A = this chain, B = another copy of it.
Amino acid sequence: MTSSAHGHPSAFPKPGHNHARCTSDALRRAEAVCASRKVRLTEIRRRVLEAVWQSHVPVGAYDILSQLNAGGGRTAPMQIYRALEFLMDNGLVHRIASLNAFIGCAHMGEDNHAAQFLICRSCGTTAELESAPLKRALIQAVAERGFTIDSQIVEISGFCPHCTPKGRT
């Protein structure tokens, strides 16, 4: 089970969940992925990954920077971006283009998975959506137009189940 909030695999992260577990799970899996790919999860990369996993809300590069430098550090932006690049290259982190921010990958190790994201306008919580029908429809629609797909960004903004006023759907 690879859910990001210990519920049903496709459940949206719940407000009160034990997030420490998300973080520790993520770090353990990241170690495993890096070991199997024979790449190094160095100190700074690990710290950036931890920062990204502080919550299910995407975090900006400069927010990560502030955190790392909170105790008087001298890390430079470049170093953060390099660590993020590494983490993205290895499928550990995703970039949310509409927010210029980054979020931990909920499906580490599943090579090359193309993710879709649900972004709550109210609480900021962002979850991955893995919908096979959606993926199929997308591939189909693109192919019909003679386009060769390379990569895709799907970011859906709205209200998560916990922020949706009752009665609405």
Given contacts A97-B97, A141-B131, whether A158 and B153 have CB atoms under 8 Å apart is no
Chain A residues numbered 99-158 whose CB sits less than 8 Å from any CB in chain B: 116, 118, 120-121, 127, 129, 131, 133-134, 136-138, 140-158
Question: Which of B97, B137, B144, B161 is A145 in contact with, Cβ under 8 Å?
Answer: B161
The complex is assembled from copies of this chain, and their number is: 2
User: Across the interface, do A154 and B157 meet the contact criterion of CB distance under 8 Å?
Assistant: no
Q: Contacting A97 at CB < 8 Å: which of B133, B134, B155?
A: B155
How far, in Å, is A151 (CB) from chain B's closest CB? 5
- Asked if A67 is at the interface (CB within 8 A of a chain B CB), the reply is no
Given contacts A134-B138, A137-B133, contact A12 B121 (CB under 8 A): no
Q: Is the CB of A153 within 8 A of B153?
A: yes
Whether a CB of chain B sits under 8 angstroms from the CB of A86 is no
CB proximity of A121 to chain B, nearest CB, Å: 6
Question: CB distance A152 to B147 under 8 Å?
Answer: no
A140, A154, A159, A169 — which one has the most chain B CB atoms within 10 A of its CB?
A154
For the complex, what is the distance from the CA of A120 to the CA of B156, rounded to whole Å? 22
Asked if residues A148 and B134 are in contact (CB atoms below 8 Å), the reply is no
Q: A97-B98, A97-B155, A155-B152 are in contact. Are A164 and B146 (CB under 8 A)?
A: yes
A153 near B150 with CB under 8 A, answer no
Contact among B120, B131, B147, B159 with A137 in the assembled complex (CB-CB below 8 Å): B131
